[in-house]
């Protein structure tokens, strides 16, 4: 396959970026998108040019770091896959492929296709955990949990925090990400003790980080590589309203 690549190049966070066009030849349709990027970078290095900076780690669809906006879609034209799982057979010979970083105020570009997604980390630090002293490892069957709730919790826990939901949303909302974290805890008895505090603090941190409001268009669900559903957003809203109506306080960190 011969391809034309229009790639966003940006030296650093303070520099002005631009699209740069590259022509690449003899790419196997069975290679992954990141392998194609590796071939491009190898050719750039051999010519004495600076390679394209992009995030990657596991290359198994688990870590969520391989975030690229490809031809107008997060992670590219395939469905329910991350960029590292996208194969070149999804493109046509001679096609022009436009590659950009995530576009969101809360995800500032660091270099080329790499963005700073530490805003997600701060949201998790605000409440995405259980702080109850559980002691030793409990027996797996010590607390009865309905199968339906257990499965819904596991479905929500599949979120890898890649940020595709933010990139897909016209308001750059992080509601799907936050709702997945809230859901995986709120559906289980172990997470109920701090449910009211958790949802309020995570939503407050989401707002502080500059993410937009939910658009209710479902674009986040459509582009999520792990098929996280917007049912979780509805659950997040219910949890938030319940916590507010129930008068849950957010000062617990200062009471210790």
Q: What is the pLDDT along the chain (256 residues), one digit of tens a residue?
A: 999 999 999 999 999 999 999 999 999 999 999 999 999 999 999 999 999 999 999 999 999 999 999 999 999 999 999 999 999 999 999 999 999 999 999 999 999 999 999 999 999 999 999 886 666 777 767 888 999 999 999 999 999 999 999 999 999 999 999 999 999 999 999 899 899 999 999 999 999 999 999 999 999 999 999 999 999 999 999 999 999 997 655 544 433 3
Structural tokens at position 61: 């669809």
At residue 252, the pLDDT reads: 46
At residue 140, the pLDDT reads: 67
At residue 247, the pLDDT reads: 67
Same domain, 85 and 136: no
Predicted TM-score (pTM) of this structure: 0.91
- CB proximity list for 23: less than 8 A, separation 6 or greater: 2, 3, 4, 5
Q: Look at the chain and report how many structural domains it folds into.
A: 2
Sequential DSSP letters for 95-161: -EEEEE---BTTB-EEETTEE--HHHHHHHHHH-S------SPPPTTSS---HHHHHHHHHHHT---
Same domain, 105 and 124: no
Domain edge (last residue) among 111, 131, 162: 111
Domain edge (last residue) among 83, 111, 139: 111
Give me the residues paired with residue 32 across strands: 87
Same domain, 95 and 134: no
Same domain, 226 and 104: no
CATH value at residue 166: 1.10.1060.10
Query: Which residues span the domain enclosing 145?
Result: 119-254
CATH value at residue 72: 3.10.20.30
Same domain, 68 and 46: yes
Domain edge (last residue) among 68, 86, 111: 111
In contact, 180 and 157? CB cutoff 8 Å: yes
Same domain, 178 and 205: yes
Same domain, 52 and 104: yes
């Amino acid at each position: 396959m011969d391809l034309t690549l229009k790639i966003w190049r940006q030296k650093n966070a303070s520099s002005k970026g631009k699209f740069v066009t590259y022509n690449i030849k003899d790419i196997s349709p069975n290679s992954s998108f990141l392998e194609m990027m590796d071939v491009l970078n190898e050719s750039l290095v051999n010519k004495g040019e600076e390679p394209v900076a992009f995030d990657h780690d596991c290359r198994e669809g688990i870590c969520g770091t391989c975030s690229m906006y490809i031809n107008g879609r997060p992670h590219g034209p395939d469905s329910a896959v991350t960029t590292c799982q996208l194969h070149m057979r999804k493109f046509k010979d001679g096609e022009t492929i436009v590659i950009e970083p995530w576009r969101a105020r809360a995800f500032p570009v660091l270099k080329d296709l790499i963005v700073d997604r530490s805003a997600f980390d701060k949201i998790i630090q605000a409440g995405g955990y259980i702080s109850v002293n559980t002691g030793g490892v409990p027996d797996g069957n010590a607390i009865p949990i309905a199968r339906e709730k257990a499965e819904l919790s596991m479905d929500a826990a599949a979120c890898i925090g890649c940020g595709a939901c933010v990139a897909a949303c016209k308001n750059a909302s992080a509601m799907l990400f936050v709702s997945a974290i809230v859901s995986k805890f709120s559906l289980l008895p172990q997470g109920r003790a701090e449910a009211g505090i958790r949802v309020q603090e995570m939503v407050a941190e989401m707002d502080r980080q500059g993410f937009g409001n939910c658009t209710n268009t479902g674009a986040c669900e459509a582009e999520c590589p792990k098929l996280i559903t917007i049912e979780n957003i509805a659950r997040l809203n219910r949890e938030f309203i319940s916590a507010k109506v129930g008068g849950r306080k957010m000062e617990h960190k200062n009471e210790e």
